[in-house]
Amino acid sequence: MSSTRRIRRVLVTGGAGFIGSHLCDRLLLAGCEVRVFDNLLTGRMDNIEHLLGHPRFSFDHYDVTNYLYVSGELDAILHFASPASPADFERLPIQILKVGSLGTHKVLGLAKAKKARVLIASTSECYGDPEVNPQPETYWGHVNPIGIRGVYDEAKRFAEAMTMAYHRHHGVDVRIVRIFNTFGPRMQINDGRAIPNFFSQAIRNEAITVFGDGSQTRSFCYVDDLVEGIVRLLHSDYVGPVNIGNPNEMSLLDMAKKIIRITGSKSPIVYKSLPPDDPKVRRPDITLAQRVLGGWEPKVSIDEGLERTRDYFIEALSKEARASA
């Protein structure tokens, strides 16, 4: 599994985001020097406030679709810059396409110049509304390129294609992680995805919105487990996409009921029409990850992860209420 490359100085694009900020924590804990580029379009300074002033951490408010330059040596780049919520697909479509294409191009160019390893954050959305379940890395996907979700799906598919082109043509040392549904502290309150929506509505005792009949399934991975898988991939010898996610599948209706129970909410459930191209199933085949990442698999149970996430949302919503009072 492990590579002999020493990784000490790291650039994280999108490091003020949900996953990016947790990666920064983990890399600093491992003794790395971490630099973050983030334009704060969807990232938040609150996510990295605790890191400001750390002697091995620095932050630049910067859009990575522009020219990228980092002085000195650079061992690795983790490219996590991109809006990722379904709510962003209509709100920020051009920005999503630009960071997936131009941003990835700039990152790969910097990696080539610095002879750095680059890990690209891809997504399970590359599989679209899948016709096979679970989804292995060998599945090519079932994506509507001109649908509302296409801006994100195709941006990530293009990013993967460009990453492998730089690897084959220029010899750039690359890794690709296909991230499945992930949850945990530092998610945005108004993220638009199921778990943030359900928690925000349940804690406020508002009606919980379930799209369709709620039978569509997802597999939810706690952020600590995801980060462990990403770090293992970064240090591995494996080139090519690797699924990282939780293979335990559950319906969105069951998740809504679970969050009502775990928050003690009085929220009713209301049903709305299903959004266009919404995947009916989503479940990773993690056989490859288990083989090439030293037996990696999720450790945090759904209930334990939801309890930690509940506490975060209670505090975040309380803070929001005080700010607007």
pLDDT digits (tens, 9 = 90+) for 137-175: 999 999 999 999 999 999 999 999 999 999 999 999 999
pLDDT band, very low/low/confident/very high, at 322 (cuts 50, 70, 90): confident
Kindly report which listed range (2-11, 230-239, 275-284) carries the lowest average pLDDT score. 2-11
Q: Number of helices and strands (H, E) in the chain? A: 10, 13
The fraction of the chain above a pLDDT of 70, given in percent, is: 99
Q: What is the mean pLDDT of the chain?
A: 96
Q: Which of 35, 3, 20, 49 is nearest to 179 (CA)?
A: 20
pLDDT value of residue 278: 87
pLDDT value of residue 119: 98
To the question of pTM greater than 0.85 for the whole model, the response is: yes
Helices (H), the chain: 18-29, 86-91, 93-98, 104-114, 150-170, 194-203, 223-234, 252-263, 287-292, 302-324
Task: Map out the domains of the chain with their CATH numbers.
Answer: 9-182+222-246+283-299 (3.40.50.720)
- Tell me if residue 238 is catalytic: no
Beta bridge partners of 302: none
pLDDT value of residue 1: 55
Per-residue model confidence as pLDDT tens digits over 23-69: 999 999 999 999 999 999 999 999 999 999 999 999 999 999 999 99
The answer on pLDDT for 258 being more than 90 is yes
Q: Which helix (H) or strand (E) is 174 found in, with range?
A: strand 174-179
pLDDT value of residue 50: 98
pLDDT band, very low/low/confident/very high, at 2 (cuts 50, 70, 90): low
Among 67, 127, 139, 152, the one annotated catalytic: 152
CB atoms within 10 A of CB 316: 20
- Strands 217-218 and 250-251 come out as antiparallel
Q: What's the token pair of residue 101? A: 């294409």
The fraction of the chain above a pLDDT of 90, given in percent, is: 92
pLDDT band, very low/low/confident/very high, at 275 (cuts 50, 70, 90): confident
Average pLDDT over residues 224-250: 97
